[in-house]
Amino acid sequence: MSQETNSPFPWGKRTYIMGIINVTPDSFSGDGLMRRGEVVDAGLRQAEQFLQDGADILDIGGESTRPGARPVRGSRELERVIPVIKAIKYAFPEALLSIDTYKPGVAKKALEAGAGWVNDIWGLRADPKLAEVVAAFQVPVILMHNRAAPGYTKWKNQLGARYVGSHYKNLINDIREELLNSVALAQKKGIPDELIILDPGIGFGKTIEQNLELTDRLDEIKSLGYPLLVAPSRKSFIGYTLNLPPDERIEGTAAAVALSIARGADIIRVHDVRQMVRVARMTDAIVRRKKPDKIN
């Protein structure tokens, strides 16, 4: 794979959009490809649409990360994601693909199949060997903060699961410290700083109020000095705030996206690519004082 593909973006010029491709039957947002029949064809259609709509990165995952979801064996995860990655890379060779996994075996096979980034929701803490895989391939890695625990979730019809009782001594300081612990794990294994991207983990082991506060204070995470990815799309904190199910959270997502960019986000991970590209370009025009690129 070319160095250009492996290199991070020129940060600060504009906001980049990561489109979510869930190769699962149980995504919280209801968009899992395994609900649509032929998975590879569905993945190709979604990838084509996302790219046409302005996505810069396609994030492909084979295990649901919704609160309370059951883990998937690595072999099953590979069965789901590798055919989709190969098909998308063949059809769209210039597309930048990310593998959403915390399993080193899955990450290695995905990178060999054409993925160029690794997105780890456990910030290298679930399996330290993942850091070795990333270091060997020298690809960008997204390190997410995560205190998710099944015993701290509650479910409500139409709104889905949310975290309750998540305790932090100091929300932002704790998140910063734990993200820096993940950074140290990466550095120890030979992953250079320029390949590290941080994700504060909105929705993962945080209550509704904590997610709202975190979104408002993202600039304090950005001050750590690393590119910042934020993923508020259709999350339960939006649903519970507005009393709306996942498929009616586009306006709430737009508000969270705009504020995240204003607070320093470099990448936004979303389900609704076309709409959020427009939100990002408009927000960029305001906060970055840059004429937005022409979009559909």
Return the HEC string of the chain: CCHHHHCCCCCCCCCEEEEEEECCCCCCCCCCHHHCCCHHHHHHHHHHHHHHHCCCEEEEECCCCCCCCCCCCHHHHHHHHHHHHHHHHHHCCCCCEEEECCCHHHHHHHHHHCCCEEEECCCCCCCCHHHHHHHHHCCCEEEECCCCCHHHEEEECCCEEEECCCCCCCHHHHHHHHHHHHHHHHHHCCCCHHHEEEECCCCCCCCHHHHHHHHHCHHHHHCCCCCEEECCCCCHHHHHHHCCCHHHCHHHHHHHHHHHHHCCCCEEEECCHHHHHHHHHHHHHHHCCCCCCCCC
Domain boundaries, the chain: 3-287
Q: What's the chain's average pLDDT?
A: 90
Q: Name the CATH superfamily for 3-287.
A: Dihydropteroate synthase-like (3.20.20.20)
Query: What is the pLDDT at residue 289?
Result: 79
Q: What is the mean pLDDT of residues 86-106?
A: 97
CA atoms within 13 A on the CB side of 215: 26
Can you give the pTM of this predicted structure? 0.90
Query: Could you tell me if 98 and 116 are in contact, meaning their C-beta atoms sit under 8 angstroms apart?
Result: yes
Lowest mean pLDDT, pick from 9-13, 50-54, 142-146 = 9-13
Question: With bands split at pLDDT 50, 70 and 90, how would you rate the model's confidence at 164?
Answer: confident
Digit-coded pLDDT (tens) for 207-240: 999 999 999 999 999 999 999 999 999 999 999 9
Query: What is the pLDDT at residue 5?
Result: 43
Q: What is the mean pLDDT of residues 253-282?
A: 98
| Predicted confidence (pLDDT) at residue 123 exceeds the cutoff of 80 | yes
> Tokens representing 36?
């649509």
Q: What is the mean pLDDT of residues 64-84?
A: 85
Q: Which of 80, 235, 263, 281 is catalytic?
A: 235
Query: What is the pLDDT at residue 157?
Result: 67
Q: What is the mean pLDDT of residues 256-274?
A: 98
What is the maximum alpha-carbon separation in the chain?
48
Note if 66 is an active site residue.
Answer: no
Query: What is the pLDDT at residue 190?
Result: 97
Query: What is the pLDDT at residue 250?
Result: 97
Query: What is the pLDDT at residue 294?
Result: 59
> Tokens representing 107?
């990450």
Note if 269 is an active site residue.
Answer: yes
Q: Which of 108, 162, 249, 269 is catalytic?
A: 269
Query: What is the pLDDT at residue 251?
Result: 98
Question: With bands split at pLDDT 50, 70 and 90, how would you rate the model's confidence at 69?
Answer: low
Query: What is the pLDDT at residue 295?
Result: 55
d(CA 86, CA 97): 10
Q: Which residues sit opposite 268 in a β-bridge?
A: 17, 230
